Amino acid sequence: MNFIAKISLLFLVVLTSCHSSAQKKDNLKKSIDSIIQTSNPKFNGTVLISQNEKTLYSIAEGFSNFETKKPLKIDTQFEIMSNSKLIAAVLLLLEVEKGKVDLNAPIKKYLPELTQTWADSVTVHQLLNHSHGIIDLQKPLAFKPGTQFKYGNLNYSLIGKIVEFTTKKSYTEVAESLFTKLKMNHTFCYAKNKTQNLATGYYSNKNALTAVEPGFINDDNLGADGVISTVSDLAIWNNNLHKGKILKPESYQLLSKNTILSQHNFFGKEKQPYGYGIRIVEEEGVKYLGHTGLGDGFSSVNIYFPENDISLIAMENQMPEDSNLFYATEFKIKNFLLKSDLVKKNNAQNGKK
CA–CA dist 154, 212 (Å, integer): 22
Please compute, for residue 276, the number of CA atoms within 13 A of its CA located in the half-sphere on the CB side. Answer: 23
pLDDT surpasses 70 at 332 = yes
Per-residue confidence at 349, pLDDT binned at 50, 70, 90?
Answer: low
Q: Is 275:129 a contact under the CB 8 Å cutoff?
A: yes
Q: Which pLDDT does position 215 carry in this prediction?
A: 65
Letter for the amino acid at 185?
N
pLDDT surpasses 60 at 353 = no
Give me the phi and psi of 226, to 5 degrees please.
Answer: -100, 10
Q: What percent of the chain has pLDDT over 70?
A: 90
pLDDT, tens digit, for every residue of 93-122? 999 999 999 999 999 999 999 999 999 999
Mean pLDDT computed over 71-81: 97
pLDDT surpasses 90 at 216 = no
In the chain the domains, ranked by start, together with CATH numbers, are: 44-349 (3.40.710.10)
Mean pLDDT computed over 343-349: 63
pTM for the whole structure:
0.91
